[in-house]
Amino acid sequence: DAGVTQSPTHLIKTRGQQVTLRCSPKSGHDTVSWYQQALGQGPQFIFQYYEEEERQRGNFPDRFSGHQFPNYSSELNVNALLLGDSALYLCASSLGRDSSGNTIYFGEGSWLTVV
Amino acid sequence: KNQVEQSPQSLIILEGKNCTLQCNYTVSPFSNLRWYKQDTGRGPVSLTIMTFSENTKSNGRYTATLDADTKQSSLHITASQLSDSASYICVVTASGGSYIPTFGRGTSLIVHP
């Protein structure tokens, strides 16, 4: 049983470019959340997708957008990249939204470096 | 504003010793508190999950406690091993319609032989 898988694992982009990160949730999970983790910091919640809709959003600008597909996989898009967008982007999946004791599984992340 | 504060920021111990990590939170209304272990450059891995009614939860050598009245949690690691070297992150989620989790910045634990 594959856990949460993310791609690519590493990538380098130039300021102003756009990037798309991909996530496949753990089998049986229907909820996907995205997080940004800067070096030495805890993850910051970007948004959560459930039933193909953005259900919750953290304090991130509109340059950050996403999508969830019918098979529950998800994409994170970041436009007009800034140097400060350099971080580890984590995808997490769960069955249902984060309530009570549902276990949340994280992928290994996508390292984005903006130069 | 919901916040999660962890202490100490970093900790160095000798292999075989015990240690306790602290987590204080202001998240309200409270839904659940989780502890994660994150190896460098890897995704976090769940250690424990506690809801309001639970005050202790164990996972092998890891034991988490929760005091919902004082809004404090601790993670106790027994007989530490070199593989315990990692960042330990406390995450608290609110209830009441908003399920946005609030992450602490983590405690960096280094276990020396």
- CA distance, residue A41 to nearest chain B CA (Å): 5
> For A4-7, which contacts have Cβ atoms below 8 Å and span 24 or more sequence positions?
A4/A91, A4/A92, A4/A93, A4/A105, A4/A106, A4/A107, A4/B43, A5/A107, A6/A89, A6/A90, A6/A91, A6/A107, A6/A108, A6/A109, A6/A110, A7/A110
Looking at every residue in chain B, the average pLDDT score rounds to 92
Check residue A90 and give its pLDDT: 96
pLDDT tens digit sequence for A23-78: 999 998 999 999 999 988 889 999 999 989 998 898 999 999 999 999 999 999 99
| Contact yes or no for A100 and B45 at CB 8 A | no
Check residue A108 and give its pLDDT: 94
Task: Give dist(CA A78, CA A31) in Å, integer.
Answer: 20
Per-residue confidence at B41, pLDDT binned at 50, 70, 90? confident
Mutation choice for B interface testing from A10, A95, A106, A113 by most B CBs within 10 A: A106
Residue A92 near residue A4, CB atoms below 8 Å: yes
Check residue A101 and give its pLDDT: 63
B56 or B100: which carries more pLDDT confidence? B56
